[in-house]
């Protein structure tokens, strides 16, 4: 059991009031707030050991490098990757996907090859592949979804051909909250010798991610959605792929030997970490993982399941409210529309009641098109939210109804 | 009434309410009172880009004055565009170009003006001014032609 009151006191921003109302923060899918443990880790880094990593011969640089590599090890353990070489620090999920799309694409994708994604993807897991397809004259194929927001796995199997080179799917849909059967997806791909990238931007903070057990080839996520600093992220990749893929960006720290005739590259993971990385952010991200490990991922899963069940039940009480994404396996994200009321009006009024939700297409226009809508209201919760806050949302929605007449 | 007088009127109307819900109620009422836009003008040609809700803005020149009609699928946005129409519609293009729409700031809608804000108030104002500039140029060239 989590002590929610204590947990909330560790997130300073949650105590604030907006427009004179207590903040109800239901936009965790966009970014989560940070506990003092993370804020202090970042502050401690700037206060006590800020210095560029892997460069200096001096005391501070040594400490900074040690902390940075310590962060890599903490994250390796959290996702249960086999080797530290398989953990690449990036600027976030988008950067990680672009890195794979470019480097993997450079090496393995040619004209007429095929890449499979799904209808449910965030634009970050669509556009880099689309651009790659344009560049290489390859083809993008899309796994369809059922009306409840779950993927049509049978159709997926039929999309696979001898030209399929990679499959890229989200672990969890950001717009609907559906947890995709990634192990099954990976199994099918692997039986055809096709690697799989899993976009874990919405998965890592809500479940027990074990890349070894999942057997994905790439797993990518952002630090800021998992209670860590913004501008941080990770690309986990199996060593065999990362070894063969060419570097994405080039410059300092990723090179072994540079002459004007030829440059040889550093070994993993540095080959993919050109320039000065966000070493302070990495330390903050590791603090975030330590924090949620301390809470216990199973406790988080249980808490969030309770919040999902409660909020779904309460929202369903509202007449004319339709939830999009009703698959069995979900994280506490509820995407919905109110009959005859534009989602933007709902969001504007909720905002003035202190309730932060997201409205619109959630950077996932294809799935909105699939449902024939131009957007939803998305309440994305996490363990620090409360049933009382859900009640405030319900009251807010009733108020919206009343105002809109 | 001058543009200035109308802006002052609007500011007074909103000053009666210090609660946000009441201000929104007023905007909703104003939005509901907006004359509907002819279906044939609700196409992509008159759609303002950059809004989370759809806004169509249709300009018409009559007696050297520029008139606007508009519609939105979101009611608050409709209220906002109705206010803009009340202030600028029926003025000469030159007046519209030179108008400082200070009432937006005064009634607390300024935050909605930021370029990243999804309701596209800024885009609406910009579009109105662009139409005014275009019609002004048209009037000028007609005068020169005479």
Q: Which residue of A has its CA nearest to B80?
A: A345
d(CA A267, CA A388): 51
Is residue B133 within 8 Å of residue B93, measured between CB atoms? yes
Give the sign of the dihedral formed by CA A87, CA A91, CA A92, CA A98: negative
Phi, psi of A63, rounded to the nearest 5 degrees? -65, -45
DSSP assignment of A119-144: TT--GGGTHHHHHHHHHHT-EEEEE-
> pLDDT at residue B88 above 70?
yes
Contact A359 B74 (CB under 8 A): no
Which residues does chain A have within 8 Å of residue B119's beta carbon, measured at their own beta carbons?
A: 344, 348
pLDDT value at position A263? 85
Which residues does chain A have within 8 Å of residue B118's beta carbon, measured at their own beta carbons?
A: 344, 359-360
**Domain presence at residue B25:** yes
> pLDDT at residue B115 above 60?
no
Q: Which of A19, A341, A345 sits opposite B20 (nearest CB)?
A: A19
Angle among Cα A80, A83, A88 to the nearest 5 degrees reads 90
Point out the catalytic residue in the list B51, B66, B87, B132: B51
Residue (of B28, B41, B50) closest to B118 by Cα position: B50
Partnered with residue A360 across adjacent β-strands are: A376
| A341: closest CA of chain B, how far (Å) | 7
Place of tokens 């344009």: A134
Place of tokens 């910009």: B126
Section B18-45 average pLDDT: 92
Interface pTM, i.e. ipTM: 0.88
DSSP assignment of A17-59: EETTEE-EE-BTTT-----HHHHHHHHHIIIII---TTT-SSH
User: Which structural domain, as residue segments, surrounds residue B62?
Assistant: 3-140
| A354: closest CA of chain B, how far (Å) | 11
| A19: closest CA of chain B, how far (Å) | 9
The CATH number covering residue B26 comes to 3.90.1010.10
Q: Which of A344, A352, A375 sits opposite B21 (nearest CB)?
A: A352
Mutate to test the interface with B, among A342, A358, A374, A378 (most CBs of B within 10 A): A342
d(CA A404, CA A342): 10
Q: Which residue of A has its CA nearest to B79?
A: A345
Q: How many helices (H) does chain A have, and how many strands (E)? A: 14, 17
Which residues does chain A have within 8 Å of residue B75's beta carbon, measured at their own beta carbons?
A: 341-342, 345, 404
Q: Report pLDDT digits (tens) over A96-149.
A: 999 999 999 999 999 999 999 999 999 999 999 999 999 999 999 999 999 999
Chain B residues contacting A, CB < 8 Å? Answer: 20-21, 24-25, 28, 52-54, 73-77, 118-119
The pLDDT-based confidence of B119 (bands split at 50, 70, 90) is low
Query: A39-294 adopts what CATH topology?
Result: 3.40.640
d(CA A53, CA A65): 5
| A101: closest CA of chain B, how far (Å) | 29
> pLDDT at residue B37 above 60?
yes
d(CA A279, CA B125): 44
Q: What integer best gives the mean pLDDT of chain B?
A: 88
B66 is a catalytic site residue? no
**Domain presence at residue B145:** no
Q: Which of B20, B21, B53 sits opposite A342 (nearest CB)?
A: B53
First CA to last CA across chain B, in angstroms?
Answer: 31
Is residue A29 within 8 Å of residue A333, measured between CB atoms? yes
d(CA B124, CA B128): 6
**Domain presence at residue B57:** yes
Is residue A96 within 8 Å of residue A125, measured between CB atoms? no
Overall number of domains in chain B: 1
CB atoms within 10 A of CB B21: 15
Contact B74 A344 (CB under 8 A): yes
pLDDT value at position B111? 66
Which residues does chain B have within 8 Å of residue A375's beta carbon, measured at their own beta carbons?
A: 52
Q: Report pLDDT digits (tens) over A259-315.
A: 888 888 889 999 999 999 999 999 999 999 999 999 999 999 999 999 999 999 999
pLDDT value at position A148? 95
Angle among Cα A115, A116, A120 to the nearest 5 degrees reads 140
Residues of chain A with CATH 3.40.640.10: 39-294
Q: Which of B25, B52, B119 sits opposite A403 (nearest CB)?
A: B25
> pLDDT at residue B117 above 80?
no
Place of tokens 């390796």: A76
Give the sign of the dihedral formed by CA A203, CA A206, CA A210, CA A214: negative
Mutate to test the interface with B, among A18, A339, A340, A345 (most CBs of B within 10 A): A345
Contacts of A216 (CB under 8 A, 6+ apart): A182, A186, A196, A197, A198, A236
Query: A4-30+296-404 adopts what CATH topology?
Result: 3.90.1150
**Poorest-pLDDT segment among A81-90, A181-190, B41-50, B60-69:** B41-50
Structure tokens at A157: 């199997």
A344 SS3 class: helix
Q: Report pLDDT digits (tens) over A355-399.
A: 999 998 889 999 999 999 989 999 999 999 999 999 999 999 999
Q: Report pLDDT digits (tens) over A27-69.
A: 999 999 999 999 999 999 999 999 999 877 899 999 999 999 9
Q: Which of A342, A352, A360 sits opposite B24 (nearest CB)?
A: A352
Q: Report pLDDT digits (tens) over A191-221.
A: 999 999 999 999 999 999 999 999 999 999 9
Residues of chain A with CATH 3.90.1150.10: 4-30+296-404
Q: Report pLDDT digits (tens) over A346-358.
A: 999 999 999 999 9
| B81: closest CA of chain A, how far (Å) | 14
CB atoms within 10 A of CB B27: 23
Give the sign of the dihedral formed by CA A25, CA A28, CA A30, CA A31: positive
Kindly calculate the radius of gyration of chain A based on its CA atoms and give it in whole angstroms.
22
Residue (of B79, B96, B57) closest to B13 by Cα position: B79
């Amino acid at each position: 059991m989590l002590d929610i009151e204590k947990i909330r006191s560790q997130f300073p921003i949650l105590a604030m009031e907006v427009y004179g109302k207590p903040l109800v923060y239901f936009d965790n899918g966009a970014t989560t707030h940070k506990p003092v443990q993370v804020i202090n880790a970042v502050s401690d880094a700037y206060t006590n050991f800020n210095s560029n990593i892997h460069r200096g011969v001096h005391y501070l640089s040594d400490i900074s490098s040690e902390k940075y590599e310590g962060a890599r090890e903490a994250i390796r353990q959290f996702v249960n990757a086999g080797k530290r070489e398989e953990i690449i620090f990036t600027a976030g999920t988008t950067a990680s996907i672009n890195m794979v799309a470019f480097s993997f694409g450079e090496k393995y994708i040619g004209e007429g090859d095929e890449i499979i994604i799904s209808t449910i993807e965030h634009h970050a897991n669509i556009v880099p592949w689309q651009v790659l397809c344009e560049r290489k004259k390859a083809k993008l194929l899309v796994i369809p979804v059922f009306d409840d927001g779950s993927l049509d796995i049978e159709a997926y199997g039929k999309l696979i051909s001898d030209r399929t080179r990679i499959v890229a799917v989200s672990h969890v849909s950001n717009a609907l909250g559906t947890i995709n059967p990634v192990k099954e997806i990976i199994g099918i791909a692997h039986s055809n010798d096709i690697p799989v990238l899993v976009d874990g931007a919405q998965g890592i903070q809500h479940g027990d991610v074990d890349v070894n057990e999942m057997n994905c080839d790439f797993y990518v996520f952002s630090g800021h959605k998992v209670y860590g600093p913004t501008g941080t992220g990770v690309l986990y990749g199996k060593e065999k792929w990362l070894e063969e893929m060419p570097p994405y960006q080039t410059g300092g720290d990723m090179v072994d030997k540079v002459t004007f005739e030829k440059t040889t590259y550093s070994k993993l993971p540095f080959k993919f970490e050109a320039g000065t990385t966000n070493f302070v952010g990495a330390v903050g991200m590791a603090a975030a993982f330590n924090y949620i490990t301390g809470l216990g991922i199973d406790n988080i899963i249980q808490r969030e399941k309770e919040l999902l069940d409660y909020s779904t039940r309460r929202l369903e009480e509202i007449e004319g409210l339709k939830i999009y994404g009703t698959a069995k396996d979900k994280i506490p994200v509820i995407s919905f529309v109110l009959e005859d009321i534009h989602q933007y009006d709902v969001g504007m009024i909720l905002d003035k009641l202190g309730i932060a939700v997201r409205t619109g297409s959630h950077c996932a226009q294809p799935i909105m098109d699939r449902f024939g809508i131009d957007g939803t209201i998305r309440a994305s919760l996490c363990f620090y939210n409360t049933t009382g806050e859900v009640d405030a949302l319900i009251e807010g929605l009733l108020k919206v109804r009343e105002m809109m007449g | 009434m001058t543009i200035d007088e109308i802006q002052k009127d609007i500011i007074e109307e909103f000053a009666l309410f210090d609660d946000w819900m009441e201000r929104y109620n007023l905007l909703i009422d104003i939005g509901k009172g907006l004359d509907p836009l002819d279906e044939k003008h609700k196409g992509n040609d008159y759609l303002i880009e950059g809004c989370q809700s759809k806004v169509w803005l249709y300009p018409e020149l009559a007696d050297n004055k520029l008139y606007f009609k508009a519609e939105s699928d979101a009611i608050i946005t409709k209220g906002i565009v109705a206010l803009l129409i009340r202030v600028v519609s029926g003025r000469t293009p030159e007046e519209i170009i030179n108008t400082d729409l200070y009432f937006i700031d005064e009634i607390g809608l300024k935050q909605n003006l930021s370029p990243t804000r999804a309701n596209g108030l800024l885009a609406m104002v910009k579009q109105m001014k662009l139409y005014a500039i275009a019609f002004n140029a048209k009037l000028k060239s007609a005068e020169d032609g005479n």
